[in-house]
Structure 1
Amino acid sequence: MRLRLLVISLLTVSFLGALDHTVVSTSLATIAGELGALKLMSWVVVGYTLASTVLLPVLGKLGDVLGARRIFLGSLVMFLAASLACGFATDMAWLIAARVLQGMSSAGLQLMSQTIIARVTTQRERPHYMAIIGAAFPIAILVGPVLGGAITDYWGWQWVFWINIPVGAAALALALIAVPHLEPGPAPRHFDVAGAAVFTASLVALVLAVTWAAERSAGPATAAALAVSMLGFVAFFFIERRAPEPIVPLHVFANRTIAAGTALSAIIGVGLFSITAYLPTYVQMAYRTTATVSGLVPIATVFGMLISNLLTGWLASRTGRYRIFPILGTSLGAAGLFAMALLPAGLPLWVPMVVMGVVGIGTGAFMSLIVAVVQGAVPARQTGTITATVNLVRQVGSTVATAIIGGVIGFGVAALLPAGLDASTLTPQLVHGAAPDVQANVAQIYSSVFTPVFIALAAAYVVGIAAAVLLPQGRLSDEPVPAAPSPSESLSA
């Protein structure tokens, strides 16, 4: 019973953290208008994403040292305080600062939820429960934009953030009862301060560079940020090799399970998460649909991901077999994206919905499962660190690939548009009101520009097939994880 309460608590806070990444999108225009800072609007999202990404390795290490329960509860309290501050914001700078705090705490919630599940379950049980926790993200993608729009229209944008307070407070009360006091790892003699600082600075510079590149502005600043990032990562590599207790232990990648699993996690960010934001635009232009109807394609993708994630988690826990799921999943993802590249413009909308639904099913087949598998390849005292690493490569891969795809689309469309159409002012409404031959021309242009994008993403999944094949054969163990909680602290279903 206590394990069920724990799963409910972890699922609730994971959903809140994931929801705050999606629910704000439909309220951004209202927020920017009321606070009078349209130019800073994107930083409400970028600040959150940046903070939730850069702190992952630090929080992972702290969770191993101080205990996952402490970091989880501290992150939840901080998340509630930041949500309260967001709603009371009187200017954009205040809101962005509060969103940064929200992103930092959200990283702790997501990461420690996965870490706690890993510490209280066997390898065999873990995929099932990890899939339940992992369902928070696709559900948040499905309901977040609609929920954000409804709250903004009927209650005011402040309640987009304040709605977290009662739900989060209930989850906190439940967590105080259900989350066990897990034994932390040994205190480090030398915490890797240099590695943490250099890594954080390098990742911030990288995210800024790709964000500015996607906006196609600040050319010298983009180049400088990218240079700082590259130099920083080189320095970080040498620091970690010499550090007695690094925040990212590079030696673990000699383990085939960890190396292949980390690569598969990166494929998810690069191959699917990066394209999701551009699917509605592609559908509106290539298939000449309204904005509302265009949302059906990403919805089909995410719904396929959700169902597959839950099903494969249950099957892996029931059978103990796991290797077949990432092999099948990456194969479906590659086939689906290649099919998207071959689809001619003007087909019925159900065709890309089905194809992208297949891509979602393939991705969901290993989205949460691979985290559980990689966690089982390290001692319990390194669970937080390796969980942070797997999540980090996924988020960085998504961020970088999203920026690259945005640049390719922007450049490609601008280069192919006929005279009289300006890419900077081109909207679906403008195209839909144009002559039929112009509509057909624009549809063909978008189809041509997206074709190499889909092929490149399919190639990423082909690399994922190779990584999945490299996963070792075997079955998930029913034995308790080494250094698990003491009997008085363990949970029973």
Structure 2
Amino acid sequence: MPLSPLRFRFLVISLLTVSFLGALDNTVVTTALATVAGQLGALEHMSWIVVGYTLASTVLLPVFGSLGDRVGARGVFLASLVVFIVSSVACGFAHDFVWLIVARVIQGMSSAGLQLMSQTIIAETTTPRQRPKYLAIIGAAFPIAILIGPVLGGLITDYWGWPWVFWVNAPVGILALALALVAIPHLPRTVRAGFDVAGAVTLAIGLVALVLAVTWIGVDGGACVAALAISAIGFSAFVLVELRAAQPLVPIRLFADRTMVTGTAISAIVGIGLFSLTAYLPTYFQMAYRTSATVSGFVPIATVFGMLVSNLTSGWLASRTGHYRVFAVVGTALGATGLGTMALLPPGLPLWAPMAVMALVGLGTGAFMSLIVAVVQSAAPASETGAVTATVNLVRQVGATVTTAIIGTLVGFGVAAALPAGLDAATLTPAVVHSAPARLQADVASIYSDVFAPIFGTLALVYVAGIVASVLLPAGRLADAADAAPEPTEPVAV
């Protein structure tokens, strides 16, 4: 079904609005966490406002990907958007913590459908050559949300109250829904009977246990080990089920294709190499560079701004030329160079130096962040676009979750072990350090620098592995016509 240029513009606006809502939801809510948990009397369970959302979103990614291939991306997208709006309203009306967590879990489940189907609908309404440009536009929602989310969340919480952090999703979501009903076509698809229930169950067990294990690192060693064991069993069972399933949840057979393997590996680097680190950058600069909380926020802003610029630029250039491998090679090389430089920077430098270096890391990561999704989509059969899109997003999200927990544990134990006698890591805040004598401030700055240096170095090696994967990515050009895909659908004019 051809789309007129006007209808396609409405489609992109609707998908961008929804992607922005999903990305903004987490960054806005993070600012209001302490207020929400305090008013509901559950400060000790505060992290579950985020963990419950993330866990539900991660587990449902492959399920929604498979559903999109079977019943159509339009139906899954619209249903997910309705559930997201309703659950957002329910979050705002929460009068106790259990209600809020249940609503957040449902909200996280629906966000998985929105995230995946936005990318899948773009894949099904554009040619492989056009795809990078529009995926980059949709992907721009994430860095923009990081830039404005915390400030917006603080303003809403301070002036309107924390329920509006959730309620603000409703009017914007309803507008996006109205646009989507008009703009998203009933796309041609290959309908397949059956659903891989066994695969969904075993994957859910493996993922939930893994996320819980990394959440408990450094908190409860016994529970962490038990969860890791359950996770290993769950993933082993999942692989066995998928190898035998007639309609697998994750099409493992496609990983015999070199583009699929290398593209998925490159996508994972975004989560492992950068997303996992951004949460710790403000703390690092407050301690190692002795900056205020406000000033320390400039470094992640520089990183995300670099990511935004290169994401849009590489998407536009790839759509114009059809070439894609060069962006992955150059991007991973820039990321490796930047993080390697961060590992070597001595403490005490002017803040503009690490800002410039982390902006370089952002530029490198953005160069392939959205583009690699388009490349992997183009290498897969059209009838499995949703499944492969889900797989690419899944490895990125799991990589970020696991690595974030590992970095947090390394920082916590590393700092605690090196602190001078009389300082307690549990109560060590930037305010305490900044009010201490100059000699003690210098000691703490050196400790944080020493603890983070090997972390930066290790993540640089992750990007080096990405360089290898990028070089192994088959060379070629994205096709101008949708019928270049392995299992073509009817081309959709834009």
Match of 1:288 among 284, 287, 290: 290
Where does residue 329 of structure 1 map in the other structure? 331
Matches for 1:214-253 after TM superposition, within 5 Å: 216-253=218-255
Kept in 1: contact 2:57–2:111 (CA 8 A): yes
Where does residue 461 of structure 2 map in the other structure? 459
Instruction: In structure 1, give the amino acid aligned to 2:209.
Output: A
Distance in 1 between the 2:493 and 2:475 partners? 29
Distance in 1 between the 2:32 and 2:41 partners? 14
Instruction: In structure 2, give the amino acid aligned to 1:73.
Output: L
Instruction: In structure 2, give the amino acid aligned to 1:15.
Output: F
Kept in 2: contact 1:69–1:116 (CA 8 A): yes
Kept in 2: contact 1:265–1:394 (CA 8 A): yes
CA-to-aligned-CA distance 1:218-258 (integer Å, 9 cap, x gap): 22211111110011111111111111111011111110111
Instruction: In structure 1, give the amino acid aligned to 2:216.
Output: W
Distance in 1 between the 2:307 and 2:400 partners? 16
Distance in 1 between the 2:178 and 2:378 partners? 30
Report the number of matched residues: 487
Distance in 2 between the 1:396 and 1:306 partners? 22
Tell me the secondary structure at the aligned position of residue 480 of structure 2.
coil
1:27 aligns with 2:32: yes
Match of 1:18 among 23, 33, 37: 23
TM-score (norm 1): 0.98
Distance in 1 between the 2:157 and 2:181 partners? 32
Distance in 1 between the 2:32 and 2:106 partners? 19
Unmatched 5+ stretches in structure 2: 1-5
Kept in 2: contact 1:120–1:484 (CA 8 A): no
Matches for 1:335-346 after TM superposition, within 5 Å: 335-346=337-348
Match of 1:115 among 113, 120, 129: 120
Where does residue 205 of structure 2 map in the other structure? 201
Distance in 1 between the 2:332 and 2:292 partners? 31
Kept in 1: contact 2:482–2:489 (CA 8 A): no
TM-score (norm 2): 0.97
Match of 2:177 among 169, 172, 175: 172
Instruction: In structure 2, give the amino acid aligned to 1:135.
Output: A
Where does residue 425 of structure 2 map in the other structure? 423
Instruction: In structure 1, give the amino acid aligned to 2:171.
Output: P
Distance in 2 between the 1:187 and 1:157 partners? 44
Distance in 1 between the 2:342 and 2:432 partners? 25
CA drift at 1:184? 3.0
Where does residue 363 of structure 1 map in the other structure? 365
Kept in 2: contact 1:286–1:442 (CA 8 A): yes
Where does residue 87 of structure 1 map in the other structure? 92
Kept in 2: contact 1:271–1:458 (CA 8 A): yes
Instruction: In structure 2, give the amino acid aligned to 1:204.
Output: V
Instruction: In structure 2, give the amino acid aligned to 1:284.
Output: Q
CA-to-aligned-CA distance 1:164-201 (integer Å, 9 cap, x gap): 1111000000000000101232223x421111101011
* Structure 1 stretches of 4+ moved >3 Å: 481-487
Kept in 2: contact 1:2–1:491 (CA 8 A): no
Question: Over aligned residue pairs, what C-alpha RMSD do you find?
Answer: 1.0
Instruction: In structure 1, give the amino acid aligned to 2:207.
Output: L
Distance in 2 between the 1:191 and 1:168 partners? 29
Kept in 1: contact 2:199–2:248 (CA 8 A): yes
Distance in 1 between the 2:202 and 2:300 partners? 37
CA-to-aligned-CA distance 1:261-280 (integer Å, 9 cap, x gap): 00001111100000000000
Kept in 2: contact 1:257–1:472 (CA 8 A): yes
Kept in 2: contact 1:120–1:485 (CA 8 A): no
Where does residue 143 of structure 1 map in the other structure? 148
Distance in 2 between the 1:440 and 1:40 partners? 34
Distance in 2 between the 1:278 and 1:171 partners? 33
Where does residue 211 of structure 1 map in the other structure? 215
Where does residue 46 of structure 1 map in the other structure? 51
Kept in 2: contact 1:308–1:362 (CA 8 A): yes
Match of 2:278 among 276, 279, 282: 276
Distance in 1 between the 2:97 and 2:171 partners? 25
CA drift at 1:405? 0.6
Instruction: In structure 1, give the amino acid aligned to 2:162.
Output: W
Distance in 1 between the 2:438 and 2:354 partners? 22
Tell me the secondary structure at the aligned position of residue 369 of structure 2.
coil
Match of 2:478 among 476, 479, 489: 476
CA drift at 1:62? 0.3
Distance in 2 between the 1:52 and 1:23 partners? 17
Kept in 1: contact 2:381–2:488 (CA 8 A): no
Distance in 2 between the 1:225 and 1:146 partners? 36
Tell me the secondary structure at the aligned position of residue 368 of structure 2.
coil
Matches for 1:387-426 after TM superposition, within 5 Å: 387-426=389-428
Where does residue 156 of structure 1 map in the other structure? 161
Tell me the secondary structure at the aligned position of residue 47 of structure 1.
helix
Distance in 1 between the 2:72 and 2:247 partners? 17
1:192 aligns with 2:196: yes
CA drift at 1:486? 5.0
Where does residue 310 of structure 1 map in the other structure? 312
CA-to-aligned-CA distance 1:133-165 (integer Å, 9 cap, x gap): 000111111111110000000000000000011
Tell me the secondary structure at the aligned position of residue 227 of structure 2.
helix
Kept in 2: contact 1:87–1:158 (CA 8 A): yes
CA drift at 1:485? 6.0
CA drift at 1:484? 6.1
CA-to-aligned-CA distance 1:52-93 (integer Å, 9 cap, x gap): 111001100000000000000000000000000000000111
Kept in 2: contact 1:199–1:236 (CA 8 A): yes
Distance in 2 between the 1:109 and 1:484 partners? 24
Distance in 2 between the 1:286 and 1:120 partners? 48
Matches for 1:125-140 after TM superposition, within 5 Å: 125-140=130-145
Kept in 1: contact 2:259–2:474 (CA 8 A): yes
Distance in 1 between the 2:41 and 2:333 partners? 48
Kept in 1: contact 2:189–2:489 (CA 8 A): no
Kept in 2: contact 1:301–1:360 (CA 8 A): yes
Unmatched 5+ stretches in structure 1: none
Distance in 1 between the 2:146 and 2:489 partners? 34
Distance in 2 between the 1:118 and 1:486 partners? 12
Tell me the secondary structure at the aligned position of residue 376 of structure 2.
helix
Distance in 1 between the 2:319 and 2:430 partners? 46
Instruction: In structure 2, give the amino acid aligned to 1:258.
Output: M
Where does residue 3 of structure 2 map in the other structure? none
1:4 aligns with 2:9: yes
